[in-house]
Structure 1
Amino acid sequence: MKKQTAMALAAVFAMSVAGTALAAPANPFVDVPAKHWSYDSINQLVKAGVISGYGDGTYKGDRTLTRYEMATIVAKAMANSDKADAAAKKQIEALKAEFGSELTNLGVRVDNLEKNASKVKFTGEIRERYEYSDDAVAKAGDTDKSVAKTRVRLYMTAPIDKNVTFKGRLAAESETGATDSTGTADNNVKLDQAYITGEVGGVTYNFGRQPILLGQKIIINNSGNNDGLVLSAGKDVRVTAGAYKLSSTNYKIGNVDFKLNQNLHLTASYLADDKDDNSNKYKDSAVGLNYTGWKNFAVTGEYAQNSADYVKNNNDGDKAKAWAARLKYKGATSAKGSYGMWVSYRKAENNFDPNKTNWNDFTDSVSWVNGMAEMNDVKGLDFGVEYALFKNGILRVQYSDLTDEKTGDVDKKNMFAELVYTF
């Protein structure tokens, strides 16, 4: 190899090992004498993992490198660039540009060749769901007790800056056979998430259309269409506060998550709307816990009450109370053959969720036929099971043995079966 080429390589790949004394290393190649002018530089390159020579133990410094051989050296330098100083990193970037095509053929990622490529990462899920509810719901005017639904969600994530990320979600759901006023399929496509998340001085912020959940979720677990600002800070005691708008109503929220140990979390939550006196429907407070100290089991529980004026005016002056508890064993993951099962009990007085739109989701059921509320004038048991039929494909079934909360005379039995595939 010519002296000029060797000197250039030594300058380009002067890693952090270059400044350290080499403790009399063994001769790396049989054809590089210890007294050769390039001996130390070659040793530095070997130690940095940049060069390895030929299979016969030779360096062959007197032959001209092909562009592919040089690209291989550049690829190894890229892999070890975390050891390089600023000057060396600049040289490596220049070599990446020079040998871009060869590196691509070698299957090496080259950032400058991808600078015009999209930074948005897409993931998603497809859900096929069957729902059934008993006569009580059908008496509202719809005689159909069952419905089949298809839902598609496409998630988008894109880095904006250090500690700043954009997140979005396109969602579409339609009932089997459903059409709009023109007779065409009603897919109901919405951008129900579009927000910026980041961190400044230890405070995490979400700004824009975002999911909102509090505590153990019997107050609110609404995954979309909430426009606002939410701030969180802390580790073992994490405090969250914010405000958002859903439909035409403004809400303010607060949540404190106390991590007592790695298995036990206690939560305290607050949700209120900004309606005038006598018309505000939400003034909720809740306390809950989540415990995972038993092998393969998780226990979740929460108690809440709604003391809004509208609620008391329609409940003989009383607050509306609710509580729920769940015991879950294991849980299905993306791995084929994984599974889980659960049993839960819930009880919610009338007008606890007066709008019946806050999508309380403690029991893992998201929507019911004709919009029957999950935490409003209801009590009873839920039994569920889930199983990963194949990689990223989970079958979930839940049966709910429910009645109205006050008398227990109104039958509100419900079940759903769904297959969710993520990609």
Structure 2
Amino acid sequence: MKTKVLAALAATMAVGATCAFAANPFVDVPSDSWAYKSVVELADAGIIQGVDGQYFQGNRNITRYEAAEMVAKAMAHMDKASVEQRALINKLADEYADELNNLGVRVSALENRVGNVKLTGDARIKYAHQESYKHLDNTTGKITDAGKKNDASWMYRVRIRANAQVNDRTKVTYGITTGDRSFADNSAASSENNPYTDIAKVDYNFGGNNWNLSVGRTDAYHLGGDRAYGYNYGDIFDRAELKYQNDKFAATAGYGKFKTDGSDTDYGKVTGKNATDTEDALSGVKTGYGELEGFFGGGRAAGSALGVYYNDFTRADGTNHGTDDVFHADDLWGAYVSANLGKWNALANYEHVSFVDGAKNINKDDNADVWIGRLTYGKAGFATPKSWDAWVEYINAEDGAFIGGNSTSWRFSKDMDNIESWGVGADYTFAKNAMFQVMQSFGTNTKDGNAEDPGEQTRAQFVFVF
């Protein structure tokens, strides 16, 4: 969606009356223009910068991303606004909520005054069902029927985040989570079921807000970054990461170690090998990683994107596999394209896993691939009641393509490898900050070997943010 610069100016000029009058910075705004005083006041307040520092270009179309930047800067002047002006700015913040969230640290540095601590969080109630529970036999490597039909469970998760703005460049984030807890779980007194720290990091923003150094624990690192499907690991990750980004390009480099919360460790089959039922195959594995992304047709916040990424794995002992002979992925690289076509979004994602020397999958290959596609119509946003979307996806994963851990996908991690499957789903925001989501798989089958086909999966959940 595009709008006129003058329209965005009129919407944000509520703070203009509080700014000191200064000299006109734009050569194309004459002193007898009807907008002269407002343009000068907004420029003096830092809400607008014009083009190339000299021209206002009042007839130029702007993107939603540019409009969101002006709203963010107006939010930084909230202390000077009247009650009516604050209401207008808050209304604009709701309108551009998705773009403001995508601006990340850049908006946070403007929205949060130094010394403030903001508490946020979310709560989720989830129902997960599988037609027939299939069990991976660690001796034969085959999936067999464990005799549990219509396996279903209700779970909940609560997360709390504290965001502290130390200064105009430094932000500290700390968070705790309950993890997924079954309503039927009677072992809450067990220490392994206690809430745990899933975020503890420091972000330092510099270089004109284009560079960000982040050190510590993040809650949902997944291979491929924020735009890719997130087929592989999507859980706790301790790392140091440096990122450069602007409206057209982003480059990320980092190094860290995978962590697990034990919530889905019944599946340990990795690159053709079998782990024990109590061990997560990816736990303790380290990786150096990098990602390059390009944005077009609307910029980083609202446009289409394409990216490539790479991970180089080692075990904690410095090898690609430990004495338990579990983890055998040497490296992984992937690529994605996310294209916005009106109200449609098309995502295509590919990943390639290479095994260490001597490690093979059931087809005796030394590598494995996964192809993923998702088509989405509409866009559900927590800040926009009655917004919705619907999607369909396709996954084709060779044996060994899923390297372990908890995937960002809605599917059970134990059934992510050596499969071909379709899925459909929908998201609906039934009230502000409250969303209902439903997902269903179909046409799922085991690609290679004699293992039985996994049962189809159903998932429904309510998610609340605060």
TM-score when normalising by structure 2? 0.60
Post-superposition Cα deviations, 1:168-212, rounded to whole Å, max 9, x if no partner, equal 221113101213285x79753111111011223342111000142
Change (3 A) 1:161 1:345: same
Which residue is 1:119 aligned to? 116
Q: Distance in 1 between matches of 2:463 and 2:21?
A: 51
CA distance 1:162–1:185, change in 2 (3 Å): closer
Partner of 2:355: 308
Which residue does the alignment assign to 1:404?
Answer: 446
Q: How does 1:312-391 map to 2 (within 5 A)?
A: 312-315=359-362, 316-334=364-382, 335-354=384-403, 356-357=404-405, 359-361=406-408, 363=409, 365=410, 368=412, 371-374=413-416, 376-391=417-432
Q: What is the aligned partner in structure 1 of residue 434 from structure 2?
A: 393
Answer yes or no: is the 8 Å Cα contact 2:328–2:359 preserved in 1: no
Say which of 201, 206, 222 aligns to 1:213: 222
Whole-angstrom CA distance in 2 between matches of 1:272 and 1:199? 27
**Contact 1:120/1:159, CA 8 A, preserved across alignment:** yes
Instruction: Assess if the C-alpha contact under 8 Å between 1:196 and 1:208 holds in 2.
Output: yes
Q: Within 2, Cα distance between the matches of 1:422 and 1:277?
A: 39
Q: 2:197 aligns with which of 168, 171, 191?
A: 191
- The CA deviation string for residues 205-256 of structure 1, in whole angstroms up to 9 with x for no partner, is 110001423431345452x421110111142231111011113221111111
Per the alignment, residue 157 of structure 1 pairs with 163
Aligned residues: 306
Q: Could you say which residue in structure 2 is the equivalent of 1:233?
A: 244
Question: Which residues of structure 2 form unaligned runs of 5+?
Answer: 1-18, 24-78, 82-112, 136-143, 260-283, 322-326
Give the CA deviation at 1:406: 2.1
Q: Kindly state the Cα deviation for residue 338 of structure 1 after the two structures are TM-superposed.
A: 1.4
Report the CA distance shift for 1:118/1:261 in structure 2 as closer, same or farther (over 3 A). Answer: closer
Opposite residue 419 of structure 1, the aligned amino acid is F
Counterpart Cα distance in 2 of 1:325 and 1:331: 17
- Aligned equivalents of 1:411, 1:285: Cα separation in 2: 27
Larger relative contact order (C-alpha < 8 A, sep ≥ 6)? 2
1:353 offset after TM fit, Å? 1.8
Matched residue SS, 2:134: helix
* 8 Å Cα contact 1:219/1:271 also seen in 2: no
Q: Per-residue deviation at 1:281?
A: 2.1
SS in 1 for 2:120: strand
Which deviates further from its counterpart, 299-308 or 198-207?
Answer: 198-207
Tell me, yes or no, if the aligned pair for 2:352 and 2:370 is still in contact at 8 Å: yes
* Aligned counterpart, 1:178: 185
* Contact 2:253–2:291 (CA under 8 A) maintained in structure 1: yes
Specify the alignment match of 2:288 in structure 1. Answer: 252
User: Is residue 222–residue 230 contact of structure 2 (8 Å, CA) maintained in 1?
Assistant: no
Please show how residues 135-146 of structure 1 align to structure 2 within 5 Å. Answer: 135-137=132-134, 139=144, 141=146, 143=148, 145-146=151-152
1:271 to 285, 295, 311: 311
Distance 1:309 1:152, change over 3 A: same
Distance 1:348 1:310, change over 3 A: farther
**Following the alignment from structure 1 to structure 2, what is the Cα–Cα distance between the partners of residues 185 and 418?**
27
Asked if 1:286 corresponds to 2:286, the answer is no
> Are 1:404 and 1:412, in contact at CA under 8 Å, matched by a contact in 2?
no
- Note if contact 1:124-1:152 (Cα within 8 Å) is conserved in structure 2: yes
- RMSD over aligned CA atoms reads 3.0
- Checking the alignment, whether the CA contact within 8 Å between 1:136 and 1:410 is kept in structure 2 is no
* Cα distance in 1 for residues equivalent to 2:367 and 2:131: 28
Counterpart amino acid of 1:405?
Answer: K
Closer, same or farther in 2 for the Cα pair 1:405/1:200, shift >3 Å? same
Specify whether residues 311 and 137 from structure 1 end up closer, same or farther in structure 2 by C-alpha distance, changes over 3 A only: farther
Is 1:242 matched up with 2:254? yes
- How far apart are 1:16 and its partner, in Å? 5.4
Percent identity for Structure 1 against Structure 2: 18
Q: Give 5+ residue unaligned stretches, structure 1.
A: 1-14, 20-77, 81-114
